[in-house]
């Protein structure tokens, strides 16, 4: 089983994730989940998400991955029972007390061990298997050899991150946020202190520099998907429950193509290079493969002049409707007549198009779409569907 696993911070993202190729989506509830400041899902929404996913033949995993303080357990038993009743396919857990409760309640849903548990060797993976876990989400520090050995030793399902932000720390082993902001990192309050700039002193207190940085580049495994499959990875996980729908769509569509092309033996170097370019363009930080092929070097660190990260305005609009030769879009970034754009969709590779007309909601001709989320129309016969995405053309279509 090879699975593309996507994040979703809300229902809109969940639908986009499934539409753009996810086999499963992981979500957080209103409580008990890291990313406490994402919108997250109510129990009713989780139930609805399960129905939605299962109708598509896909899966929902729910993160219950905070490290609990005693007062946090209130309501947990009922919550887990509800998740199980609603058909959640698995919970992702880091605290052993939740694993124990899962077992005690005899729940049907699978137990997956969160990356927060820092599983990096076969013995710790075996420990979790003996507790009943079906899957471990490996620490991001796992190398190709670690993955192979853990798989061979335990035969657990192996889930590994393939794309997105990296903790500087081994996940779960950081409370800098607690110290710097009083926000508890292991209960969902991480303030990403490791991305701050620091003053830097030697141990005698002599200032060396006023811009010390330690955070790494993002993760990007485009070049190694085949190696990961061969190493025994079952589930390919994209990070980012708080990311935009454009990011989710672009990343998932790219990895969907890569995985499928690898599995059917049609992947080419050209594909890899193209998706690398697309994904690099979509991100706001540089990316690399980090630990998979060995320990990271200085080249995997993300040093900026001032800590400011770049974002782009490539995401121009999302298709709401396409009927009778009129495409209705919700604008997401400025565009104008004459712009060269691309449409992306799970239904086709890309469609390139030069905008030659724009109308407002009342079919009054305009030259620019310059208001956030304004509804605009384009008269054109293109095979577009709801939730297809229009982006600025930055690369030639794949050869």
Instruction: Pick out residues in 43-72 that bind other proteins (CB under 8 A).
Output: 66-72
Nearer to other proteins, 187 or 237 (CB): 187
Q: What is the DSSP letter of 332?
A: S
The full DSSP string for 17-80 is: HHHTT-SEEEEEBSSS-S-TTS--B-HHHHHHHHHHHHHTT-EEEEEE-----GGGGTTHHHHH
Window contacting other proteins (CB under 8 A); options: 5-13, 82-90, 179-187, 250-258: 179-187
Q: Is 143 in the site for other proteins (CB under 8 A)?
A: yes
Q: Is 242 in the site for other proteins (CB under 8 A)?
A: no
Nearer to other proteins, 186 or 254 (CB): 186
Residue 394 tokens read as 């930055």
Q: Is 223 in the site for other proteins (CB under 8 A)?
A: no
Q: Is 75 in the site for other proteins (CB under 8 A)?
A: no
Q: Is 232 in the site for other proteins (CB under 8 A)?
A: no
- Minimum distance, C-beta of residue 29 to other proteins, in the bound complex (Å): 13
Nearest to 162 by CA among 267, 237, 244: 237
CA 337 vs CA 63, 312, 374, 377, 383: distances in Å: 44, 20, 15, 12, 20
Window contacting other proteins (CB under 8 A); options: 164-172, 238-246, 344-352, 367-375: 164-172
Would strands 235-238 and 375-379 be described as parallel, antiparallel, or unpaired?
Answer: unpaired
Residue 385 tokens read as 């569907």
- Minimum distance, C-beta of residue 356 to other proteins, in the bound complex (Å): 45
Q: Kindly tell me which residue out of 216, 232, 240, 317 binds other proteins, with binding defined by CB under 8 A.
A: 216
Q: Kindly tell me which residue out of 1, 202, 308, 323 binds other proteins, with binding defined by CB under 8 A.
A: 202
Do residues 368 and 359 make contact, with C-beta atoms less than 8 angstroms apart?
Answer: no
Q: Is 120 in the site for other proteins (CB under 8 A)?
A: yes
How far apart, in whole angstroms, are the C-alpha atoms of residue 383 and residue 118? 46
Nearer to other proteins, 11 or 68 (CB): 68
Q: Is 199 in the site for other proteins (CB under 8 A)?
A: yes
- Minimum distance, C-beta of residue 247 to other proteins, in the bound complex (Å): 22
CB atoms within 10 A of CB 206: 8
Q: Kindly tell me which residue out of 1, 208, 308, 364 binds other proteins, with binding defined by CB under 8 A.
A: 208
- Minimum distance, C-beta of residue 375 to other proteins, in the bound complex (Å): 32
How far apart, in whole angstroms, are the C-alpha atoms of residue 200 and residue 308? 19
Give how many residues touch other proteins by CB under 8 A: 78
Q: Is 183 in the site for other proteins (CB under 8 A)?
A: yes
Q: Is 220 in the site for other proteins (CB under 8 A)?
A: no
How far apart, in whole angstroms, are the C-alpha atoms of residue 161 and residue 156? 16
Q: What is the DSSP letter of 239?
A: P
Q: Is 291 in the site for other proteins (CB under 8 A)?
A: yes
Nearer to other proteins, 45 or 95 (CB): 95
Q: Is 224 in the site for other proteins (CB under 8 A)?
A: no
Residues 6+ apart with CB under 8 A from 356: 337, 338, 380
Q: State residue 370 phi and psi, 5-degree precision.
A: -120, 10
- Minimum distance, C-beta of residue 60 to other proteins, in the bound complex (Å): 23
Residues between 18 and 37 with contacts to other proteins, criterion CB under 8 A:
36-37
Buried b (16+ CB within 10 A) or exposed e, 138-162: bbbbbbbebbbbbbeebebbbbbbb
Q: Is 227 in the site for other proteins (CB under 8 A)?
A: no
Sheet containing 348-354: which strands, arranged edge to edge?
Answer: 348-354, 340-345, 389-392, 315-323, 326-331, 375-379, 358-359, 365-366
Q: Is 284 in the site for other proteins (CB under 8 A)?
A: no
- Minimum distance, C-beta of residue 175 to other proteins, in the bound complex (Å): 5
Query: What is the rounded radius of gyration, in angstroms, for the C-alpha atoms of the chain?
Result: 22
Window contacting other proteins (CB under 8 A); options: 169-177, 265-273, 310-318, 319-327: 169-177
How far apart, in whole angstroms, are the C-alpha atoms of residue 199 and residue 202? 10
Q: Is 168 in the site for other proteins (CB under 8 A)?
A: yes
Q: Is 265 in the site for other proteins (CB under 8 A)?
A: no
Residues between 294 and 333 with contacts to other proteins, criterion CB under 8 A:
295-298, 300-301, 303
């Amino acid at each position: 089983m090879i699975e593309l696993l996507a994040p979703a911070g809300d229902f809109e993202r969940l639908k986009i994730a499934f539409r753009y190729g996810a086999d499963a989506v992981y979500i957080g509830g209103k409580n008990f989940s890291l990313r406490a400041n994402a919108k997250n899902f109510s129990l009713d929404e989780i139930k609805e998400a399960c129905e939605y996913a299962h109708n598509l033949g896909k899966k929902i995993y729910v993160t219950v991955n905070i490290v609990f303080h005693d007062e946090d357990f209130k309501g947990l038993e009922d919550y887990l029972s509800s998740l199980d009743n609603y058909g959640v396919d698995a919970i992702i857990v880091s605290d052993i007390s939740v694993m124990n409760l899962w077992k005690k309640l005899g729940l049907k849903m699978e137990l997956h061990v969160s990356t927060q548990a820092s599983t990096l060797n076969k013995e710790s993976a075996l420990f979790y298997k003996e507790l009943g876990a079906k899957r471990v989400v490996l620490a991001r520090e796992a190398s190709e050899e670690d993955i192979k050995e853990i798989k061979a030793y335990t035969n657990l399902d192996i889930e590994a991150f393939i794309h997105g932000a990296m903790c500087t720390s081994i996940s779960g082993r950081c409370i800098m946020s607690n110290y710097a902001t009083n926000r508890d990192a292991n209960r969902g309050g991480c303030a990403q202190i490791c991305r701050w700039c620091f003053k830097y002193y030697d141990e005698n207190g002599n200032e060396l520099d006023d811009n010390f940085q330690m955070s790494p580049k993002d993760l990007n495994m485009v070049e190694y998907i085949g190696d990961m499959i061969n190493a025994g990875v079952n589930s390919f996980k994209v990070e980012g429950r708080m990311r935009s729908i454009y990011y989710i769509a672009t990343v998932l569509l790219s990895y969907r193509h890569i995985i499928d092309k690898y599995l059917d033996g049609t992947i080419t170097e050209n594909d890899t290079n193209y998706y690398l370019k697309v994904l690099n363009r979509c991100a706001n930080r540089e990316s690399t493969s980090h630990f998979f092929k060995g320990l990271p070097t200085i080249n995997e660190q993300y040093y900026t002049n001032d800590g400011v990260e770049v974002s782009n305005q490539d995401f121009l609009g999302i298709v709401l409707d396409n009927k009778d030769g009129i495409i209705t879009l919700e604008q997401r970034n400025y565009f104008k007549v004459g712009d060269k754009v691309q449409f992306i969709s799970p239904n086709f590779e890309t469609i390139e198009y030069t905008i030659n007309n724009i109308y407002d909601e009342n079919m009054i001709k305009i030259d620019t779409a310059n208001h956030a989320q304004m509804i605009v129309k384009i008269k054109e016969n293109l095979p577009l569907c709801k939730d297809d995405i229009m982006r600025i053309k930055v690369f030639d279509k794949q050869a």
